[in-house]
């Protein structure tokens, strides 16, 4: 793991694959804070022309933040889509061409008030690439201390808490951590370190 921004392994594909669809037109069906619903008119490999909806959500960072005493800093946040409080890792969107490591530091500070002595890139995943264009970039943060003020977005309701990594790993394995992006980050880290 390094502090440098990762290279996207999917970048540079030229569409020459015989499975590739040809995009004939692309329009926005719906736009709101957080995501855009796009309609592409496409030609399939067999020549069929059809429409395909997808969600543009862009790049995000997810941070697994450790304090010096080994606790993990977590956020408890209301999630309207599932109508409950969600416990998970600090996360948020990358702003423009912001370097990913800077985005990880910014999101950690904004959501929790904690700042990291160091951040390291762990891995990137596309959580649902049949529907979303999103890429989740996972970072591990070390030496986290509560030195900043929370700076929440208008639509964020967040409470900060901590837990042991063992508790989080067990929750992710046992279904007690319902937030998929957080569970994936916890399990990826567990596989790399245990």
Instruction: State pLDDT tens for residues 35-73.
Output: 899 999 999 999 999 999 999 888 999 999 999 999 999
Give me the mean pLDDT over the 156-162 stretch. Answer: 85
User: pTM for the full model?
Assistant: 0.85
> Which of 1-5, 141-145, 172-176 has the least mean pLDDT?
1-5
The Cα-based distances of 136 to 90, 132, 155 in angstroms read: 12, 11, 21
**Please, which pLDDT band fits residue 2 given cuts at 50, 70 and 90?**
very low
Query: Could you tell me the sign of the dihedral formed by the alpha carbons of 130, 136, 137, 140, in that order?
Result: negative
> Which of 22-31, 112-121, 146-155 has the least mean pLDDT?
146-155
Sequence-distant (6+) residues with CB within 8 A of 59 are 93, 94, 100, 134, 135, 137
Per the CB < 8 A criterion, the answer to whether 156 and 138 are in contact is no
Give me the mean pLDDT over the 120-127 stretch. Answer: 95
Give me the mean pLDDT over the 117-135 stretch. Answer: 94
Domain spans in the chain, listed from the N-terminal domain onward: 22-56, 59-193
Identify the pLDDT of residue 69: 95
> Which of 13-27, 38-52, 107-121, 129-143 has the least mean pLDDT?
13-27
Out of 3.40.50.920, 3.90.79.10, 3.30.930.10, 3.40.50.11900, select the CATH number for domain 59-193.
Answer: 3.90.79.10
- Look over the chain and give the mean of its residue pLDDT values, rounded to a whole number: 89
């Amino acid at each position: 793991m390094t502090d440098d921004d990762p290279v996207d392994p999917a970048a540079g594909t030229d569409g020459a694959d015989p499975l590739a669809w040809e995009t004939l037109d692309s329009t926005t069906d719906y736009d709101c804070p957080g995501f855009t619903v796009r309609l592409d008119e496409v030609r399939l490999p067999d020549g069929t022309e059809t429409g395909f909806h997808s969600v543009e959500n862009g790049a995000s960072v997810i941070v697994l933040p450790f304090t010096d005493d080994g606790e993990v800093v977590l956020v408890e946040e209301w999630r309207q889509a599932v109508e409950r409080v969600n416990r998970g890792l600090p996360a948020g969107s990358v702003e423009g061409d912001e370097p990913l490591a800077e985005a990880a530091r910014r999101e950690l500070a904004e959501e929790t008030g904690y700042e990291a002595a160091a951040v390291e890139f762990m891995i990137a995943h596309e959580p649902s690439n049949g529907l979303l264009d999103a890429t989740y970039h996972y970072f591990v943060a070390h030496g986290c201390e509560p030195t900043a003020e929370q700076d929440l977005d208008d639509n964020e309701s967040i409470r900060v808490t901590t837990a042991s990594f063992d508790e989080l790993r067990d929750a992710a394995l046992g279904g007690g951590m319902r937030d998929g992006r957080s569970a994936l980050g916890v399990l990826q880290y567990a596989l790399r370190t245990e």
